[in-house]
Amino acid sequence: MQTTQPAVILLEDGTTFYGNSIGIKGTATGEICFNTGMTGYQEIFTDPSYFGQLMVTTNVHIGNYGVNSLEQESDKVQIAGLICRNFSKSYSSKRAEDSLYHFLGKNNIVAIEDVDTRALVKHIREKGAMNAIISTDTDITKLKAQLKQMPSMEGLELASKVSTKKPYEVGDPNARFKIAALDIGIKRNILHNLVKRDCYVKVFPFNTSFEEIEKFQPDGYFLSNGPGDPNPLVEAQLLAKQVIKKNYPLFGICLGHQVIAIANGVSTYKMHNGHRGINHPIKNLVTGKGEITSQNHGFVVDKTEVLNHPDFEMTHVHLNDSTLAGMKMKNKNCFSVQYHPEASPGPHDSSYLFDEFINRIEKSKSTN
């Protein structure tokens, strides 16, 4: 890696912030967003849902406990770039296998420290998530020209960038349940949660047809989390329609949840600045209980359309802004949530949703 040098952050609205690179020369572009989690930076940086985004961390210290292979949610760093206040090149955790400094270097990720992240986050909260560019080249005129070439996140299909290229299996082939998971940005801990519930999971590329997946003869279908706008994911929407028509058990998380909505004629829209953190409060409208949840999304399902839809029931609501956080179909074996019950990072209040999926599969198998 290179020595530290001045770096600049240029936002789409023309605002600039300054800091210093942690040692990697270069330029990175993406939608700028922030995550409020106090821990879990490695899981956040390797989460495919963050593909193409410039991540601002609100926690002051980043890198202080290093990295280890057990806390990776995918094979590589998925964020486009990192912006933080204080970056630690050393670490103290005994579990760590390497420093975050070396980890980002191996992945060639441009990272900037010494930034007034409180001011930057306040700006994003007020003005909304937007495209930005970070660079060790501080020629603003040049950077403005590059920034103008960037596509908007709205309408952008990114699942194909992070999805597996070919099917693969996870778990014991002799497990009690067979799950077909559509990878539109899947996290490893989702697979771990299914495997520990006695599931054998086959993961399929984002554009796999229903006919191809059905050859696996799964007991249940799962639509994963992922990056970008759900509207361009035509193949995934068609798959959801066909699974629902057959009334097979179907569970969707985050982007998968949005795909299920669109497949049933319910709209999604881009949020002002999204939900990204590990302490978001949710109310389960079925049980009346509250949950603290891990969230990462910039799009959301239209709550009014769900409430007015004859086939849907809202099951969860976000307590900060009353957006829809979960839903189920009234006469079909299908349910979904906007947040992350697998956490990583975050609390495990919502892990019961995986148990609900298994219960639905058991009931389906007993009646067929």
Q: Count the alpha carbons within 13 Å of 137 in the hemisphere toward its beta carbon.
A: 12
Pair 119, 93 in one domain: yes
Q: In the predicted model, is pLDDT for residue 127 greater than 60?
A: yes
Domain count, the chain: 2
Q: How far apart are CA 236 and CA 259, in angstroms?
A: 7
Q: Check residue 15 and give its pLDDT.
A: 97
Burial of 86 (0-12, 13-18, 19+ CB in 10 A): middle
The share of the chain scoring above pLDDT 70, in percent, equals 99
Q: What sign has the CA pseudo-torsion 223, 228, 232, 235?
A: negative
What is the rounded average pLDDT of the residues 134-145? 96
What is the rounded average pLDDT of the residues 57-71? 96
pLDDT band for position 187 (cuts 50, 70, 90): very high
Helix (H/G/I), strand (E/B), else coil: 190: helix
Q: Check residue 23 and give its pLDDT.
A: 83
Pair 356, 207 in one domain: yes
What is the rounded average pLDDT of the residues 177-196? 98
Cα–Cα distances in angstroms (integers) from residue 314 to residues 70, 325, 352, in the given order: 35, 8, 17
What confidence tens digit (pLDDT) does each residue in 247-279 have? Answer: 999 999 999 999 999 999 999 999 999 999 999
Pair 112, 245 in one domain: no
Cα 233 off chain centre by: 16
What is the rounded average pLDDT of the residues 218-241? 98
Pair 225, 174 in one domain: yes
What confidence tens digit (pLDDT) does each residue in 280-309 have? Answer: 999 999 999 999 999 999 999 999 999 999
Pair 209, 337 in one domain: yes
Give the end of a domain, one of 94, 119, 148.
148
Q: Check residue 248 and give its pLDDT.
A: 98
Domain of 38, in residue numbers = 6-148
Q: Check residue 2 and give its pLDDT.
A: 57
Q: In the predicted model, is pLDDT for residue 196 greater than 90?
A: yes
Q: What is the rounded radius of gyration, in angstroms, for the C-alpha atoms of the chain?
A: 20
Tell me if 360 sits within 8 A of 336, measured CB to CB.
no
Return the active site residues. Answer: 254, 340, 342
Is 153 domain-assigned? Answer: no
Q: How far apart are CA 68 and CA 290, in angstroms?
A: 32
Tell me if 313 sits within 8 A of 285, measured CB to CB.
no
Pair 179, 262 in one domain: yes
Q: In the predicted model, is pLDDT for residue 117 greater than 70?
A: yes
Pair 193, 64 in one domain: no
Pair 248, 138 in one domain: no
Is 309 domain-assigned? Answer: yes
Cα–Cα distances in angstroms (integers) from residue 91 to residues 61, 64, 67, 101, in the given order: 11, 5, 9, 10
